Structures are given as C-alpha cells and as structure tokens.
Amino acid sequence: MSTQSQQYAHLAKTWFDAQFATLTLLAEEHLATCASVAGLNLETAKAAMAASAVASKQWLTAPDPKEWLKLGQSQAGQAFERAQSYGRQVAGLASSAHTRYGLAAGSAPLNSFFKSAYDAGTAPYTSLE
C-alpha cells in the first residue's frame, strides 16, 4: 500500500510541476507580447504628438482659408496613413504572439508529462504483440 501512495504522491507532484512550468512559460510569452504592444503604443503616441505639433505650426502660419482647407486635407490623409500603419503593426504583433504561444504550448512541460504517462500506460501492451 505504501508503494501505491508513494506513486500517487510522485504523480501528483510531477503533475503540479508540469502545470506550473507550462503556466510560467505561457505567462512569460504573454508578458513579452504585452511589452511589445505597450512599446508600440508609446511610439505611436510620440509620433502623434510630433505630427500634431507640426500640424498646429502649419495651421498657424496658413495665410488664408484656402490654405487651411489644403492643410486639413493633407493632415487627414497623413492621419489615415498612420492609422493604417498602426493596424499593420498590431496585426504583425498578434501574428507573432500567436506563433510564439503555439510554439510555447507545443513544447510545454505538460505535453511531455502526458506523453510519458501515455508511454508508461501502453508499455505493458506493446510486449503482447
């Protein structure tokens, strides 16, 4: 009876260690992704502030309403281009995160736990063939 309880305790500890290692690995990937998104947002905010400063200087120096309309049109086009660029960068980060999560989940310690448990469970039956 002692052997079974020791095996159960070992199994429970191995299961817990595998779960903890897997969650740690996925949490590290998540934090790296969050840091990338935060960095992108910071750079985007800096670029928006710089573009706003340039635009306000141009608007203050515009001599007539016709020039204001031209400036407004060009500023709107530039803002749209910046928004598209931001969207492409976010999509790239999401794709990269998806790939990294998939790789992390595929190499997770929990997978090796299940594989070893499966191999151990099927070992007695392979000798019968």
Length of the chain: 129
Residue-level pLDDT at 128: 43
How far apart, in whole angstroms, are the C-alpha atoms of residue 19 and residue 113?
9
Kindly give the confidence (pLDDT) of every residue in the chain, 129 residues in length, as a single tens digit, with 9 standing for 90 and above: 568 888 788 878 888 888 888 888 889 999 999 999 999 999 999 999 999 999 999 888 888 889 988 988 999 999 999 999 999 999 999 999 989 888 877 777 777 777 776 666 655 445 444
Residue-level pLDDT at 120: 67
How far apart, in whole angstroms, are the C-alpha atoms of residue 24 and residue 116?
21
First to last CA, the chain: 31
Q: Are 122 and 47 in contact (CB under 8 A)?
A: no
Contacts 24+ apart (CB under 8 A), 37-40: 37/90, 37/93, 40/86, 40/89, 40/90, 40/93
Residue ranges of domains in the chain: 37-105
Please, where are the H alpha helices in 62-108?
65-106
